[in-house]
Amino acid sequence: MIDLRSDTVTRPTQPMLAAMMNAEVGDDVFNEDPTIQSLEHYAANLFGMEAALFCPSGTMTNQIAIRLHTRPGGEVICDQYAHIYNYEGGGIAVNALCSVSLQQGERGLFTAADVAASIRRDDVHHPVTSLVAVENTMNRGGGACYDFAELRAIREVCDQHKIPFHLDGARLFNALVAKNEQPKDYGRLFDTISICLSKGLGAPVGSLLLGKQEHIKAARRIRKVMGGGMRQGGFLAAAGLYALEKSIERLADDHRRARLMADALSDMPCIKAIIPPETNIVIATLQKPFTPDQALRVFKAFDIAAVPFGAQEIRFVTHLDFDDNQLETFIQKLSEINHAIEQA
């Protein structure tokens, strides 16, 4: 099976497994796990930020950040496609007791002007604008990357109104590689950053929340309340540390394969349009009357797995376990798949 459902389906490489098995561990709830501490220090230094907190998932790091920066009755500015709004179980409402101001950005990327227009004036009838959160890369936007100048402009609006700025950077390293940007530039821009280790970087579990010492101290308490304290988590942290040290530059291969995949898919008569991939996500819009469920059943019959991604869209994601040989096999099967879809 060529599994292109997500970049979360990867399995640890042998060197990563060796790093995990040889990890020095302790009880992290007592702040005694040296490998977790090494991971947190490494990540914080990579971004030029003061501290980091290791958590089981990106959902947890995002939700901790939202709760950290807001109070009940506040409002979070984010895009209508944002992961924190669509795919985190209603966590903004459940964990932070906040509402949302949904932006309609281009491919999920909104602007500083959008933010300025959405900030609430001081009125008891309104929620209090408490946080601006962006996602880079934007999953629902086909792995789209923010222009850094626009992020800087959003930061300026946040500073003018004394509003914190959070980055859901689940696939931030894809953006850094695609746009040849530096982590420390992002560390200077955001109050908190969530980075995921189990997507493009290939670790089995884990995300990190980065921020100031005072933020991470408070975040550790929130993590405890959410049940995120882990004991000998260094076995997992070792995989994350290996991923940060060894797996960033290779993301360019995922991006190259995604572009080649998009070119091949665009030649299929059953495909109406392809969002040009900037990173490792390919979103294809199907010609009607074909539905995503119909198309994906046919792809699965040819040992290719993808996911539905809207009323007429399907999504493919390249990753560590998808190599050039599998790409060649994928492309070779497309003519047969297209014929089968037409017969479906």
User: What is the C-alpha to C-alpha distance for residues 81 and 140, in angstroms, rounded to an integer?
Assistant: 6
Per-residue pLDDT at 264 exceeds 80 = yes
Percent of residues, the chain, with pLDDT higher than 90: 93
Q: How confident is the model at residue 338 (pLDDT cuts 50, 70, 90)?
A: confident
Confidence bin at 290 (pLDDT 50/70/90): confident
Residue whose entry in the numeric block shows the structure tokens 């198309």: 295
Query: How much is the average pLDDT of 24-44?
Result: 96
- 35-55 average pLDDT score: 98
Work out the mean pLDDT of the chain and round it to a whole number. 96
CB 52 within 8 A of CB 208: yes
Helix runs in 111-196, H state only? 112-118, 148-161, 172-179, 183-189
pLDDT of residue 118: 97
**pLDDT band at residue 270 using 50, 70 and 90 as cut-offs:** confident
Predicted structure pTM score: 0.95
Q: Does position 38 have pLDDT exceeding 70, yes or no?
A: yes
Q: What average pLDDT does the segment 48-66 reach?
A: 98
Convert the pLDDT of each residue in 298-326 to its tens digit: 999 999 999 999 889 999 999 999 999 99
Quote the CA–CA distance of 198 and 309 in Å, as a whole number: 21
pLDDT tens, position by position, 125-160: 999 999 999 999 999 999 999 999 999 999 999 999
How far does CA 207 lie from the centroid of its chain? 10
What percent of the chain is predicted at pLDDT more than 70? 100
pLDDT of amino acid 339: 78
For residue 6, give the nearest of 63, 89, 87 by alpha carbon: 87
pLDDT band at 344 (very low <50, low <70, confident <90, very high): low
pLDDT of residue 269: 87
Query: How far, rounded to the nearest angstrom, does the alpha carbon of residue 259 sit from its chain's CA centroid?
Result: 19
Task: Report residue 235's pLDDT band, with 50, 70 and 90 as the boundaries.
Answer: very high
Model confidence at 341, in pLDDT bands (50, 70, 90)?
Answer: confident
As given in the structure block, the two tokens for residue 310 are: 């809207």
How high is the pLDDT of residue 311? 87
Asked if residue 343 has pLDDT above 80, the reply is no
Q: Grade residue 44 by pLDDT with cuts at 50, 70 and 90.
A: very high
> What is the C-alpha end-to-end distance of the chain, expressed in Å?
21
Q: What is the pLDDT of residue 127?
A: 96
Measure the CA–CA gap between 59 and 64, rounded to whole angstroms.
Answer: 8
pLDDT range class, residue 195, cuts 50, 70, 90: very high
At 2 the three-state DSSP class reads: strand
